[in-house]
Structure 1
Amino acid sequence: MNSVVVALQQLQLALNAEFADAPGLQQLAFSVSLSDASDALAWLTTQRLYPQFYWQQRNGDDEIAALGALRQFYTLNAARAFLDDYAGQPGVRITGVNAFSPDTSCLFLPRLEWRRTGGGASLYLNLYSEISLRDDARAAQQFLEQLLPAKQLLLQRLNCVAEQHIPTQPEWQQLIGSALTAIEQHEMDKVVLARATDLQFTAAVSAAAFMAASRRVNLNCYHFLMVFDASHAFLGSSPERLWRRIDTALRTEALAGTVANHPDDHRAWSLGQWLLKDDKNQRENMLVVEDICQRLHKTVGAIDVLPPQVVRLRKVQHLRRCIWTDLATPDDAACLAMLQPTAAVAGLPRDVARDFIASNEPFEREWYAGSAGYMSQRQAEFCVALRSAKVTNNTVRLYAGAGIVAGSDAAEEWQEIENKAAGLRTLLTKATF
């Protein structure tokens, strides 16, 4: 088994071969030792090449570290069309994020990708050119020459000097009041409203160290980090799958309904049992289930809805119902259009709720409540971009939302978003992370 250094040397030697002086897409791959390359995040974020994308599946089986963009795609439709054009390269993955508004994406075909599946890992080098693969092989050699050896992610000392909620708590109460009025007037059944919290620090925040700290403590979550350039990044640790596709088999879920977690296992179990029986939270979850099934039923086979589960996270617990089905064709663009945004992050009816959010929320969601993941010919997986933050130099914007239905209480929903935001906020307000 090769070390990363040896695998990179093998890739450089492979680039000395003769490549066609013609357009095309080609992928080179060499296996790497997990003992040597176990921290893909540290290796990726040591580099000074962009964009960078890190993603880890919530059960830990899949991990991606993608570096450098050969092609960028600003819609998932465009990325899917590219993969279809190169159906003879089924191992090629496109990675990145989709915005809350699903017609906007930041997806890219990486130059270099560290990929782990189960107990095996490999380095993949992509060559792509609309003119000459031979010329791109030379460009790839220059790219590899710029790589740096991985450095350990160091703890960072942070000093928060300012904090601002958008909306403020009084404004939140007014916002909830407006939502409840619309619900009472039967304009909508549910709307998910969010809060942004801007934290200012005395020095630039390391998005990589922030991600590493969250990965250590926020278990049973997807972890994702999109580094756009040296000063701008978006990251999160999300419990929720948007969809997973293997060939035509589709897995999605309804994650809605929330109660606090507790460090005492018995107390946490009691809270979870309350969540399973609480009418408001059950209604909120079933609204999401019904909406997903309605959106899927015209393009899939039989739909199986599994019994409810309680998902226990660090600060909160959620209700989850898994939904399994089969697609008529393996179309990820259709999956995005059908599933994002779900009622768990927007509301019902979806278009009415989105309009209410656009008209009333006092900030732009951008990538928050969108999705993060990868797609290829054979498979794709995206998580919902929740429990997330935007890092811009010395400013961190945290996001958290709550589902508003008939009977919601503004003070209780404020506490819910406090609990949700705490999963990342407590990492930033400690002395180090």
Structure 2
Amino acid sequence: MLSLLKTSLQQHIDAGIPAGPGVRQISLPWTPGSHVPMLDWLNTCTLYPQFYWQHRDGAQEAASCGGLLTFDRLSAAQRFLSTNRTAWPALRLWGINAFGNGNDNSEQNDGDDDSAGDGQNGHANGNDAGEPESCLLLPRLTWQRDAQSHRLVLNLASDVSLGDDARLCLAWLQQAAPATPLPPWTAQLREEVHQPERSRWRDTVAQALAQFGRGGLTKVVLARRTRLGFSGNINPHALMAASRRVNHDCYHYMLAWSAQRAFLGSSPERLYLRRQRQLDTEALAGTVASRSASATVGQLAQWLMNDDKNQRENLLVVDDICQRLQDSAITLDVMPPEVVRLRTVQHLRRAITARLDCRDDSRCLAMLQPTAAVAGLPRDAARAFIARHEPFDRQWYAGSAGYLSHAQAEFCVSLRCALAERQTLWLYAGAGIVEGSDAEREWQEVNNKAAGLRTLLTGDKPTAAN
């Protein structure tokens, strides 16, 4: 990999790279000579920040390192892509969007498909009021896999001299080390603290149920954060690799700001996939365990399909998504429900497809994030309840993770996730509370969801309850 990149970059330098500012992309097809996992390569690489992504169908995978440009709002990232779409249409940004405050009244572009999202070159930009915070990167280098086809994508960018950046990149490539296997996990769990703890969780669920009775709120998703303290430093690359091996049918994502600090997870839920004006999204709400001492997986799935509380919870999300899309959708279709089976839980899912009136990812994010599956209904009332009662800031939890380009974008909902900071892991999970919810059953649901990552570190087997 490194020799191929060095040769190609040297050829571009020899051919002449402008001394002025600009952006350039070098894309090379590549056939790995041996099987080197992307996470092994990322762990060896010393260039940060890093981003890892694998689609839930397993066919698409990417590993990126370095942040030539960083955008703290999706709209700024979109303007940058639009500015450069003629010269470099394949530019792709990777990263995450925070849960945030949302913005139903954000400015929308009502122009044609090609003008939507146009603007000036954007670096970090805090002027897009109302948008959730983002951390979206134009990486130095991305290794992409699509099925069995591999490609290396090297980006150059400079406000001063593109030629100088190319020579800087070449110097980095000459010093980069080859990939080595990830180290084994050896640290021991020393401490586990829930926020909120169990009695406060019961009280908060009771407060939500009481507010349902008074009107103005029909669903709220309550989250729990668990602090796990270990005897040694956590290697986020190794944790991501372990989750990828066992948590199938999930999007796997990781943004590492350094070797000691990363946000990562394995989420079953798509926020949206946009291909030009075609939008695919879904309602993933309604949960039961994947295993139980008293019932088979099939029996639990059948129970989920017929349970009134879970069906109502799913349809609330469907209705909310459809209402949010209706003003922007030329066509809108909802598929029949299906049960999605994961390692520790099963979910109800309904796929939703739409043909949009224009191509605008800022608009898509404003319409769809946060969904009722991670916040509640009505959205503003649910967010207000969460802000009053949850004892922590969600930040990246229940936001979104993925990539953005002019022609296509895809983000998953950042669930089943954790923030790793040296010897501490902050583990996040939540449960949808609707009329008829039971606090103890919802607590167990949170346990089941958190087990997807927790058991990888502790060796415990997931517990389950119907």
TM-score norm. by structure 1 comes to: 0.96
Partner of 1:334: 363
Matches within 5 A, 1:209-248: 209-248=238-277
Partner of 2:99: 100
Report if aligned partners of 1:12, 1:144 keep a CA contact under 8 Å in 2: no
CA deviation vs aligned residue, 1:325-351 (integer Å, no higher than 9, x gap): 111122111111110000000000101
Matches within 5 A, 1:34-433: 34=32, 36=34, 38-88=36-86, 89-101=88-100, 103-262=132-291, 267-430=296-459
Cα separation, 2, equivalents of 1:116 and 1:344: 30
Cα separation, 2, equivalents of 1:240 and 1:139: 39
Cα separation, 2, equivalents of 1:275 and 1:366: 31
TM-superposed deviation, 1:14: 2.9
TM-superposed deviation, 1:154: 2.2
Partner of 2:13: 16
Report if aligned partners of 2:397, 2:414 keep a CA contact under 8 Å in 1: yes
Q: Runs (4+) of structure 1 moved beyond 6 Å? A: none
TM-superposed deviation, 1:303: 0.6
Unaligned stretches of 5+ residues in structure 2: 101-130, 461-466
Report if aligned partners of 2:234, 2:260 keep a CA contact under 8 Å in 1: no
Report if aligned partners of 1:7, 1:123 keep a CA contact under 8 Å in 2: no
Aligned-residue Cα RMSD (Å) equals 1.5
TM-superposed deviation, 1:37: 5.2
TM-superposed deviation, 1:263: 8.0
TM-superposed deviation, 1:156: 1.0
CA deviation vs aligned residue, 1:282-310 (integer Å, no higher than 9, x gap): 00000000000000010111111000010
TM-superposed deviation, 1:22: 2.1
Report if aligned partners of 1:91, 1:376 keep a CA contact under 8 Å in 2: yes
State the identity %: 52
Q: 1:399 to 1:164 in 2, by over 3 A?
A: same
Report if aligned partners of 2:189, 2:228 keep a CA contact under 8 Å in 1: yes
Report if aligned partners of 1:58, 1:239 keep a CA contact under 8 Å in 2: yes
Cα separation, 1, equivalents of 2:412 and 2:345: 18
TM-superposed deviation, 1:13: 2.3
Q: 1:237 to 1:35 in 2, by over 3 A?
A: farther
TM-superposed deviation, 1:44: 1.2
Cα separation, 2, equivalents of 1:196 and 1:129: 40
Cα separation, 2, equivalents of 1:424 and 1:379: 30
State how many pairs are aligned: 428
TM-superposed deviation, 1:55: 0.4
TM-score norm. by structure 2 comes to: 0.89
Report if aligned partners of 1:199, 1:396 keep a CA contact under 8 Å in 2: yes
Cα separation, 2, equivalents of 1:145 and 1:185: 66
Q: 1:258 to 1:35 in 2, by over 3 A?
A: farther
TM-superposed deviation, 1:29: 1.4
TM-superposed deviation, 1:180: 0.9
The alignment partner of 2:169 has SS state of helix
Cα separation, 1, equivalents of 2:228 and 2:247: 20
- Greater alpha carbon shift after TM alignment, 227-236 vs 407-416: 227-236
Report if aligned partners of 1:99, 1:369 keep a CA contact under 8 Å in 2: yes
Cα separation, 2, equivalents of 1:49 and 1:37: 22
State the one-letter code of the partner of 2:83: D
Cα separation, 1, equivalents of 2:32 and 2:337: 36
The alignment partner of 2:139 has SS state of strand
CA deviation vs aligned residue, 1:152-194 (integer Å, no higher than 9, x gap): 1122112111110000000100111111111111121100000
